[in-house]
Chain A
């Protein structure tokens, strides 16, 4: 337990400068935009005169120098204040917290399904490298992994929602259905089948490939050769020795993929009209809402740091060698 706390503390300290770099770079990028949120707002309401624009800029602090505003932003960030969304006219943090659960539900289910299926199929493929089963699974996973998620989502919705009419095409739940409890949960599940399916199929392919190649390598390791020469049964070697050894890189992969998954939520949520974090990013871009976009990038960075921390904790629990050398420090 001590080891875990030390890991968390060390990670939190080392994350601060990295987050600061993210904030400064994003701030600089959004600053270089031609036209600000006030321009976008005035355009959307059909124009306004210079005094109105001046008053709005003053109200949002847009008339101050860049360094001054960066300082204000960073210091308010320290109190978990992410600023005010101009397009929605609400605090950025509230908007993000409102949308985040949908995305976490989507990503969590897709990750769980793809991790489970991918590692299981990876074990099947890696149990006998270069066999017919392995070659088939490897080929299928290669093709699956090459499919863009938004296109797979579209194809799945053409087949299952438009043609077969088995599932709804979009949304997270039936609007104003008045459902509650279990009925509502079931309704949300039905809405999530296609988007989760599209994401899970693609990530399953990735986990399958990582598991399979880890196992193919493990077969060459001395202790596996030794287990085979001892005459242990093949299934026992596959599960106890080979697969177990190949599981660690898969856990690492989970952390590495978290950023890509958050990015991928933008397109999949746009296809299925799910009011989540990714769709919020698209809306921020559409509304030229710099504070919102900024908040989204900062929060996504924090999320990725958290996921990686969890992955590291799991890793440390699985592999006692991790962090053992640091116990002196």
Chain B
């Protein structure tokens, strides 16, 4: 609760959180705001925006409602972004904790794997992964997480290495605490804050990667996404540029909100550490 209050205290955090809450509400209540399948034909094709009050943003080449697509696309973007970031953080924390705590050969081997994932462009990896396994929402989530876990892993390991030499960890060892318990109860909570500050950036990157994948036609074909809407609008870019522009604006607003939130979060965590 104190975290939220501090977050609202900084202007960036307040604006970012505000927009994100609004987007989350749109995502949750998408079926209420725009009932029915956003991929179904709703009206005459290529209806210009701001002409028909029942289709404020117009319709696309196949007569699908653009506003409905954007509303339902919020779901995909946020869900994929957050799920991919959570998966990346989970893998990164496990690997980082293991490497930092085990040390020696295990550490060396794990860090070389981290290196390998860092030198392969994550977008190429995601592209290869989705094309091999087949496009569906869970596969896209895993594909994005595969390219994103290396940074949190490296950061967690660095944190563990610096924390495990501290006095309170030594005391825990002296009183006979089990190593796993020390790792989870003493080290993890203290290693977490900087990694969490990284998490918002990972969400933003995941949202952008998902959009790029579905723009290239590698998203789940049964789900409406902003990236696929932009790609679809590209076919009539000369006559109806708005079809590509609107979903792009939705993307930018979402990512800006995540960045603002992350700036607020970083400031709050920084302040918290100073106070401690």
Contact = CB atoms under 8 A, between A and B. Distances in A.
Interface of A: 17-19, 21-22, 25-26, 29-30, 32-33, 142-143, 145-151, 154-155, 157-158, 162, 259-260, 262-264, 266-267, 270, 281-282, 285, 288, 293, 296-297, 300-301, 304-305, 308
21 contacts: A21-B116, A22-B116, A22-B120, A29-B128, A33-B133, A143-B252, A146-B204, A147-B255, A148-B215, A148-B251, A151-B211, A151-B248, A154-B234, A154-B244, A263-B123, A266-B124, A288-B131, A300-B120, A301-B120, A304-B120, A305-B119
Nearest to B129: A29
A60 B42 CA distance: 50
B48 interface: no
A167 to B, nearest CB: 15
A267 B125 CA distance: 14
Contact of B122 (A25, A260, A285): A260
Given A143-B252, A158-B241, A17 B112 contact: yes
Given A29-B128, A158-B244, A293-B131, 17 more contacts: A18-B116, A18-B119, A21-B115, A25-B116, A29-B129, A142-B263, A148-B252, A151-B211, A154-B244, A259-B119, A263-B123, A266-B212, A270-B216, A297-B125, A297-B128, A300-B121, A304-B121
Closest A-B pairs by Cβ, 6 of them: A263-B123, A263-B121, A146-B255, A151-B248, A21-B116, A285-B131
A148 B120 contact: no
Contacts of B82: none
Of the candidates B121, B204, B212, B244, the one having the most CB atoms from chain A within 10 angstroms of its own CB is B121
Nearest to A298: B120
B112 A21 contact: yes
Nearest to A150: B215
A281 B124 contact: yes
A283 B193 CA distance: 42
A56 to B, nearest CB: 20
A145 B262 CA distance: 14
Contact of B244 (A25, A151, A305): A151
A150 B218 CA distance: 15
Nearest to B123: A263
A133 B45 CA distance: 46
A221 to B, nearest CB: 17
Given A150-B215, A259-B119, A33 B251 contact: no
Interface residues of B, number: 40
Given A151-B230, A151-B251, A158-B237, A32 B133 contact: yes
Given A17-B112, A22-B116, A25-B116, A146 B252 contact: yes
B260 interface: yes
B118 interface: yes
A275 B159 CA distance: 43
A148 B170 CA distance: 47
Given A18-B119, A263-B123, A285-B131, A150 B255 contact: no
B121 A150 contact: no
A127 B105 CA distance: 46
B91 interface: no
B34 to A, nearest CB: 23
Given A21-B113, A146-B204, A260 B252 contact: no
Given A158-B237, A301-B120, A142 B260 contact: yes
Which applies to chain B's interface (DSSP): helix, strand, loop or mixed?
A: helix
A248 to B, nearest CB: 19
Contacts of B122: 259-260, 263
Nearest to A18: B115
A138 to B, nearest CB: 9
Nearest to B249: A151
Nearest to B260: A142
Nearest to A142: B259
B256 interface: yes
A277 to B, nearest CB: 10
Interface string B117-159: 0111111110111011100000000000000000000000000
Nearest to B215: A150
A263 B216 CA distance: 13
Nearest to B120: A301
Contacts of B120: 22, 26, 259, 297, 300-301, 304
A18 B116 CA distance: 5
B124 A300 contact: yes
B208 interface: yes
Nearest to B111: A18
Contacts of A142: 256, 259-260, 263
A167 B129 CA distance: 36
A270 to B, nearest CB: 6
A293 B115 CA distance: 20
A143 B256 contact: yes
B216 A162 contact: no
Contacts of A285: 127-128, 131, 218
